[in-house]
Structure 1
Amino acid sequence: MIPKPRRLILGLLLAAEGQALSVRDAIAGCGLFGISANSVRVALVRLSADGLIEATERGSYRLSASAHELADDVATWRSAEQRIRPWQGGWLAVHCAGLGRSDRVALRRRTRALAMLGFRELDGGLHLRPDNIEDSVEAVRRRLHTLGLEKQAPVFVAGEFDAAREAAIRKLWDGKALNASYRKLRAQLEDWLARADRLELEAAARESYLLGSNAIRHVVYDPLLPAPLVDADARHAFVETVRRFDRAGQDIWRRLGSLSGKP
């Protein structure tokens, strides 16, 4: 699977942790996946036009201030489990019925924000998730706003639903599928780590990016459900493996950059 140039460039910038990415390095990184230099340059121009990246000096780019807000939140995936607190059975709620759906950009940002924090729609624009993340509703509200939710949307705590509705809420997430994905993805990463030393460096860089970006996306969008809705131990083991895989992948890309003349 060949990643799209835009996504790959943004991934490289995110991995750079605030440092600029030169056009040369963007071309070299994308070239590992068979992406042409022309496609890379076109992607850079479009990312700049969309306000996602900005030039730092001739031939180098970094994430724009607006893109940094989302990127900074995504980058916290390594400490995502630290947001979890004991669940007392209540729910966090966001009511979006009055926001409208005609503005496609706003709708996309809203949908992404809700998905990244694990909210699911029950009915009538009411989105819910277990009240087991962050230390307050205000903290959840701030994160939702940072990620793109309109400030007009009420964010609050809900509870004491009738038995039928409570059962329906709990079915908004497929806990069995989440548990299976934790175990499957962890096994894939562990298998790759066991044979990584036998791979050529460029092959290792390609595979580590593809496997790692998929695994990190799962962590970023994990709803961080409490037990008994999911197997919390299986999730923790998966996240720990992703952290270890990420460290190995970054080391591979550093070695690749060193061999290509990158400082």
Structure 2
Amino acid sequence: MFQVDGRPTASRVILDLLTASPEVEFGLDMLTLAGEIMGLTAANMRVSAARMCAEGRITRTTRGTYTLLTEALPAYTEVSSWRTRIERMVPWDGTWTAVEQSRVKRSDRAVLRAHNNALSLAGMADWTPAVALRPNNLDHGTDGLRATLSRLGAAPECHVYRIDQLSADDVEAVHRLWDTTSRTRNLQKAARALTDATRTSEDRTAVENARTSLLLGSAVISTIVRDPLLPEELAPLSPLAELIEQMKEFQDHALSLWLELLEDGHRT
């Protein structure tokens, strides 16, 4: 079964709504109603919105509505561009991009957590304790990877370079760094979950469908964003491409439903 977090936080609901609809101006009344739909109290939503403003993740405009401060969200580009994610891929020439990280401080847990998350979002896999790598099949090569890792919060002590030649034994070992069977299986589970949610939507109320769409949609987009974008030589691309197309249709319908509920002031 595809894993979905059934208990989102208020900040998660706010970020999901603002990221999915950056052109929409969300007032506090709309956010508190969204929280109510998700089983959260109005007080919870107000406190979270205030805290997120203080943290610099969102801001309140002169019109009294909330918008994202994208520069404070390292993964915003990845999350907001999930629809076009596979367009970053280029034909693979058999080389690898690597990150040498022996100088990264392991004693600072916050720095290490941010660094590891950056490498994960970039599709890197640990080859040795000091080196992580991925196929060199993304646009802009090593320069692009440096920029991506810096934006995502990788430790500045790491170094990015290209590996042109590996021994046959190393190539065989490196190919096993990604569990491509589990990756494909999880993509297919996500696709089935979307199909099941769409098929059974007529049996649920509009509010129930909105709740389901946010929880499931968030989980599927996370799966898409965290896909390592491996070349066809290592893993089939079609399960990811098909999931993205399916998710586009699912989210378009979900956004229409959410905006209709919020603009009409529909309450549970």
TM-score, normalisation: structure 2:
0.90
Question: 1:40-119 maps to which residues of 2 (within 5 A)?
Answer: 40-57=45-62, 59-67=64-72, 70-119=75-124
Identity of aligned residues (%): 29
Number of aligned residue pairs: 261
User: Whole-Å Cα distance in 1 between the matches of residues 177 and 85 of structure 2?
Assistant: 21
Partner of 1:233: 238
User: Whole-Å Cα distance in 2 between the matches of residues 125 and 21 of structure 1?
Assistant: 45
SS at match of 1:230: coil
Partner of 2:193: 188
Question: 1:110-189 maps to which residues of 2 (within 5 A)?
Answer: 110-189=115-194
SS at match of 1:57: coil
> 11-20 or 33-42, which moves further after superposition?
11-20
| Paired residues of 2:89 and 2:139 also in contact (CA < 8 A) | yes
Counterparts in 2 of 1:65 and 1:186: CA distance versus 1, 3 Å:
closer
**Which segments of 5 or more consecutive residues in structure 2 lack a partner in the other structure?**
1-5
Counterparts in 2 of 1:224 and 1:90: CA distance versus 1, 3 Å:
same
The Cα of 1:210 is off from its aligned counterpart by 0.8
Partner of 2:3: none
Question: In the alignment, residue 36 of structure 2 is paired with which amino acid?
Answer: G
User: Whole-Å Cα distance in 1 between the matches of residues 180 and 70 of structure 2?
Assistant: 36
1:26-84 CA distances to partner (integer Å, 9 max, x unpaired)?
A: 11101112111121122123222322122223753222252255323320111001011
| Paired residues of 1:20 and 1:56 also in contact (CA < 8 A) | no
Q: What is the RMSD computed on CA atoms of the aligned residues?
A: 1.9
Counterparts in 2 of 1:101 and 1:45: CA distance versus 1, 3 Å:
farther
SS at match of 1:85: coil
User: Whole-Å Cα distance in 2 between the matches of residues 243 and 169 of structure 1?
Assistant: 33
**Which segments of 5 or more consecutive residues in structure 1 lack a partner in the other structure?**
none
> 70-79 or 190-199, which moves further after superposition?
190-199
TM-score, normalisation: structure 1:
0.91
User: Whole-Å Cα distance in 2 between the matches of residues 227 and 154 of structure 1?
Assistant: 27
Residue 244 (structure 1) aligned with residue 253 (structure 2)? no
User: Whole-Å Cα distance in 1 between the matches of residues 77 and 24 of structure 2?
Assistant: 13
User: Whole-Å Cα distance in 2 between the matches of residues 223 and 105 of structure 1?
Assistant: 23
Pairing partner for 2:215 from 210, 216, 227: 210
Pairing partner for 1:32 from 24, 31, 37: 37
User: Whole-Å Cα distance in 2 between the matches of residues 91 and 99 of structure 1?
Assistant: 21
